[in-house]
């Protein structure tokens, strides 16, 4: 720490105050604490990849980078040395006035809202840089925006102009101006930045670097704001204070990937391959591409279901982390169920990673709204003894040893958890990176310090793809190694992903200190005319790996693994009697059958139908079960039909919705499915004869894989039309295209060969060149118009809170970065609603009223039927059990004309004594009677453990 001297007036300014004890912390101490914490974060926590990105344009590289983040962290609260802040605590304001700092006669609430101290920090630092050091305003803004945005929202130009007109709030008297200069000098001196400032005057930070430095400063402020780590009132020296506080925090350092062993050896060590087993071709190819591509960037792996894409991605991530210095891995999946399944696999991988001596700990986090119910994750969690980082405007106001995985007590929570070394979560966590939301810089830092893996990207619809493409563009701007996995990816999506990444990663133009502030650039095609990206169009082979290079993308076709399944496609009438007859005939000697419906309503009806003829042999799975029941059902399905299942039932029928196509690694002998878009049909077929089993293990009549396609009104009609429920979910166009490309497979019961036919079918179905079959022209044209309208509406809605593309000019700043944003959202329903075009419904906690008393649901383990006292609160263990009983109401009850009435009625069930519970506070409560019924908004709901939540008289098409 460099030398400094402060006047009595400057030392009188305060930063923190405890109203209970009246203890307070001087501003200069909090500034020094924050700067010192930032320096330690740089030394011990920030990975090499982030250091290089921040430092690459600075004259002295990473040594400048460390000084920079320390200086800006120390400067972050300059705006607290102002009357508008000081007068929040009159006693401390009087003390400052006694030290020579005059206070205005009054400060109104409107004044405080117009001059938050983060905005004041930006104004004061910019003024100091321009007036004392002669910096150009645009360059000064590129640095001052970091303190200006340290409470989560960078200021806009209008904010700055408005505050400039209200200078009395910042202190216009000479004494105030002197203190501002003193404290700005103090920040520069205590961080040893003063000698570097002339060298940075012509080196504006790039917007991506500004965002990352802001994230580090936010972290430093949160840590330094914890009074247990950095107590008030103590007078010890600053260096000892920092050392003691950070030692107590014991924040784990980043993952430092060692040089990986040869591919076969790596796969054998990390994934516990059986003796004699070798990695599959797509896995070896992914490893090789990651190791040899000239410019690590975006890698897309397209390969069949069950080919080991996950293991391929983890191996490639290890290679890329070693090459780039990334400090962790971020794995995103479509659903909470897939995230939970991946958590187990990723945890096993982390525990087999080699470590550098003394670097044995990796922090791990499960990122979705129900992670607290995952027993494996809860088993990792240290007891959370403190909430580090409560500021008044913040979120709560080569060795052979292997790593130990922990859930560090500080890296836990809706905003900080994603900063852990290894994060497994839903794709929403990645899409939030393109959503204008508070503390976005922190989320960008969480992505920028890792290798990002996005699995099952085929599950991303048009609306979500708007956010995904923009996130990919920012990942490119940060030079983040990114791996995308898909079994069925249309070529236009492949091309858009690569173009987006390259658009973000294109080199910046030379810096200019007099450049005008950059405007947010509209997205434009990356090229015109003949394009290097034309190599990605159409069928480019399968399996195939694509890698961005900044020029012509690299495309590598991969030999098939030899795993091959030929599936016979059979059009089947959408008729109950016909379905029962087929199932009776085909399972006469046994068999495990999947019946996949496109809506919950159709699935429930099918369950009730089959139960009449096959009692006790039918299981139903869909999204409208209580969380505790769905978890139990999914666990039963994995243990019964999964890869490691010890025994399979002689005959069983699993009826489900889309959860079967993407959430479970299960194997069936026969499949019946509603007509769906071709890529989803192929996904469903991937659950048919999925696992290698001896032929004799399957019933004689089911040794040939067969997929019966139903959900069509009349297979002989011209054109062929899906039932209304399916058209409601997917639209007519995708279903007509699916039928068209299946063509002779449907007419002649021809076989579909997996994986050979996957790419041709998918690329054909999504091609603009696909023509309507004869006689279908009018229906086809109408369906295409409706699809275009639907797509345009989705794009328009997605743009409301979409983050702009990263500006290329280094002379620009992130001023106004998230203006008119979505507020403070996370992985709760509100956040999901912003990045998904879906009505997930209202989530409610379900309890029972029995004999006039509220009780936990009768079937809960240990706590079933327990009385719930509404007057004195609820014990934590019971609250947690009740909180697992959540379910989403049917979409009909959340329609615009219904939702207000529904919420009003649910709020009448609110229990005031529960609001302090971390498990139940703020939850809506649905009270059912002893028979499982509830009346709400003129509708009757029923919860049945076998069928899930039922809405009686619900229109079929509305049951998603």
Residue 253 CA to residue 410 CA, distance in Å, equals 13
| Structure token pair of residue 163 | 């505050």
Q: pLDDT by residue (tens digit) across 848-898?
A: 999 888 999 999 888 888 988 766 678 888 988 898 899 989 888 877 788
- Rounded CA-CA distance 120/155 in Å is 10
pLDDT digits 0-9 by tens, 190-211: 999 999 999 999 888 999 999 9
List beta partners, residue 426: 333
**In a 10 Å sphere around its CB, with 0-12 CB exposed, 13-18 middle and 19+ buried, how is residue 939 labelled?**
middle
Crossing angle (nearest 10°) for helices 207-224 and 27-44: 120
In 3D space, the residue among 57, 218, 69, 67 whose CA is nearest the CA of residue 148 turns out to be 218
pTM equals 0.88
Q: Could you tell me the end-to-end alpha-carbon distance of the chain, in angstroms, rounded to an integer?
A: 61
Q: With CA atoms as reference, report the closest residue to 664 among 685, 638, 631.
A: 638
Beta-bridge mates of residue 934: 941
Query: Which two tokens mark 856?
Result: 């936990």
Q: Quick one: pLDDT at residue 514?
A: 37
Using 70 as the pLDDT threshold, list the residues of the chain that sit under it: 1-4, 234-236, 357-360, 379-415, 507-529, 663, 748-749, 808-811, 820-833, 837-841, 870-872, 953-960
Query: In this structure, is the dihedral angle defined by the CA atoms of residues 718, 722, 728 and 731, taken in order, positive or negative?
Result: negative
The C-alpha atoms of residue 243 and residue 10 are separated, in whole angstroms, by: 25
Beta strands in 399-476 (DSSP E): 404-406, 422-426, 451-454
Q: What span, in angstroms and rounded, lies between the C-alpha atoms of 715 and 721?
A: 8
Question: So what's the pLDDT on residue 657?
Answer: 94
d(CA 418, CA 274): 34
pLDDT in the model for residue 4: 60
| Nearest CA-CA partner of 802 in 567, 595, 491, 500 | 500
Q: Do 61 and 53 contact (CB within 8 A), yes or no?
A: no
Angle made by CA atoms 178, 180, 185, in degrees to the nearest 5: 95
């Amino acid at each position: 720490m460099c030398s400094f001297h402060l006047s009595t007036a400057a030392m009188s300014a305060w930063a923190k105050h405890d109203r209970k004890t009246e203890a307070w912390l001087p501003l200069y101490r909090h500034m020094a604490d924050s700067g010192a914490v930032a320096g330690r974060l740089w030394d011990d926590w920030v990975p090499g990849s982030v250091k290089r990105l921040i430092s690459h344009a600075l004259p002295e590289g990473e040594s400048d980078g460390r000084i920079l983040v320390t200086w800006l962290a120390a400067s972050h609260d300059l705006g607290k040395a102002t009357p508008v802040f000081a007068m929040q605590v009159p006693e401390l304001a009087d003390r400052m006035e006694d030290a020579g700092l005059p206070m205005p006669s009054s400060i109104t609430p409107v004044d405080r809202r117009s001059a938050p101290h983060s905005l004041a920090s930006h104004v004061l630092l910019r003024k100091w840089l321009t007036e004392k050091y002669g910096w150009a305003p645009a360059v000064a803004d590129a640095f001052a925006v970091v303190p200006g945005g340290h409470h989560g929202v960078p200021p806009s130009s209008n904010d700055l102009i408005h505050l400039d007109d209200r200078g009395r709030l910042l202190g216009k008297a000479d004494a105030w101006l002197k203190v501002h200069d003193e404290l700005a000098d103090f920040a520069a001196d205590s961080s040893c930045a003063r000698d570097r400032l002339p060298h940075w005057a012509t080196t504006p930070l790039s917007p991506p670097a500004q965002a990352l430095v802001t994230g580090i400063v936010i972290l430093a402020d949160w840590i330094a704001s914890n009074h247990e780590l950095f107590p008030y009132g103590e007078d010890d020296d600053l260096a000892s204070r920092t050392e003691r506080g950070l030692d107590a925090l014991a924040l784990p350092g980043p993952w430092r990937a060692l040089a990986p062993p040869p591919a076969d050896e790596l796969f054998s060590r990390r994934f516990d391959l059986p003796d004699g087993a070798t990695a599959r071709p797509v896995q070896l190819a992914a490893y090789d591409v990651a190791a040899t591509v000239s410019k690590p960037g975006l890698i897309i792996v397209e390969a069949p279901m069950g080919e080991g894409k996950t293991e391929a991605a983890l191996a490639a991530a290890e290679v890329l982390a070693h090459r780039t210095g990334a400090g962790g891995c971020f794995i995103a999946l479509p659903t909470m169920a897939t995230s939970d399944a991946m958590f187990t696999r990723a945890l096993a991988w982390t525990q087999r990673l080699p470590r550098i001596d003394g670097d044995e700990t990796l922090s791990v986090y499960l990122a979705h709204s129900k992670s607290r119910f995952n027993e494996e994750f809860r088993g990792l969690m240290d007891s959370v003894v403190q909430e580090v980082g409560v500021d008044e405007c913040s979120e709560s106001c080569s060795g052979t040893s292997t790593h130990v995985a922990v859930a560090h007590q500080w890296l836990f929570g809706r905003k900080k958890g994603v900063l852990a070394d290894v994060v497994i979560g839903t794709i929403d966590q990645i899409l939030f990176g393109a959503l204008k939301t508070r503390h976005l810089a922190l989320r960008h830092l969480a992505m920028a310090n890792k290798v990002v893996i996005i699995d099952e990207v085929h599950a991303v619809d048009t609306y979500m793809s708007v956010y995904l493409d923009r996130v990919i563009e920012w990942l490119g701007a940060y030079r983040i190694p990114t791996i995308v996995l898909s079994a069925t990816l249309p070529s236009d999506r492949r091309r858009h992903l690569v173009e987006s990444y390259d658009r973000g990663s294109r080199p910046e133009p030379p810096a200019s200190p007099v450049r005008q502030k950059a405007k947010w650039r509209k997205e434009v095609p990356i090229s015109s005319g003949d394009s290097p990206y034309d190599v990605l169009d159409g069928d480019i082979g399968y399996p195939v790996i694509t890698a961005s290079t900044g020029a012509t993308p690299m495309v590598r076709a991969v030999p098939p693994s030899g795993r091959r399944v030929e599936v016979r496609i059979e059009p089947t009438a959408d008729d109950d009697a016909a379905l029962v007859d087929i199932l009776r005939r085909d399972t006469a000697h046994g068999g495990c059958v999947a019946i996949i419906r496109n809506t919950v309503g159709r699935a429930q009806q099918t369950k009730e139908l089959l139960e009449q003829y096959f009692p006790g042999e039918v299981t139903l799975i869909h999204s409208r079960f209580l969380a505790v029941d769905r978890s139990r059902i999914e666990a039963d399905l994995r243990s019964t039909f999964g890869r490691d299942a010890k025994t399979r039932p002689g005959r069983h029928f699993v009826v489900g919705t889309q959860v079967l196509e993407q959430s479970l690694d299960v194997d069936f002998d026969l499949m019946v499915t509603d007509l769906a878009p071709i890529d989803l049909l192929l996904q469903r077929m991937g659950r048919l004869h999925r696992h290698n089993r001896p032929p004799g293990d399957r019933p004689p009549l089911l040794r040939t894989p067969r997929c019966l396609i139903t959900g069509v009104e009349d297979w002989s009609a011209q054109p062929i039309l899906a039932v209304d429920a399916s058209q409601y979910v997917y639209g007519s166009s995708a279903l007509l295209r699916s039928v068209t490309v299946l063509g002779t497979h449907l007419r002649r019961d021809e076989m579909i060969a997996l994986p050979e036919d996957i790419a041709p079918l998918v690329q054909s179905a999504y091609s603009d060149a696909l023509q309507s079959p004869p006689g279908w022209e009018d229906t086809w044209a109408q369906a295409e118009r409706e699809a275009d309208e639907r797509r345009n509406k989705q794009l328009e809605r997605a743009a409301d809170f979409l983050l702009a593309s990263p500006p290329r000019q280094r002379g620009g700043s992130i001023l106004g970065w998230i203006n008119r944003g979505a507020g403070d959202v996370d992985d709760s329903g509100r956040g999901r609603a912003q990045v998904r075009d879906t009505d997930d419904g209202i989530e409610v906690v379900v309890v029972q009223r029995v004999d006039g008393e509220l009780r936990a649901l009768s079937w809960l383990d240990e706590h079933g039927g327990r009385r719930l006292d509404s007057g004195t609160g609820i014990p934590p263990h019971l609250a947690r059990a009740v909180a697992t009983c959540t379910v989403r109401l049917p979409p009909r009850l959340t329609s615009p004309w219904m939702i207000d009435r529904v919420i009003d009625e649910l709020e009448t069930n609110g229990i005031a004594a529960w609001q302090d519970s971390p498990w139940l506070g703020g939850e809506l409560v649905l009270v059912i009677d002893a028979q499982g019924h509830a009346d709400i908004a003129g509708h009757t709901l029923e919860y049945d453990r076998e069928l899930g939540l039922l809405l009686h008289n619900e229109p079929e098409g509305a049951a998603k």
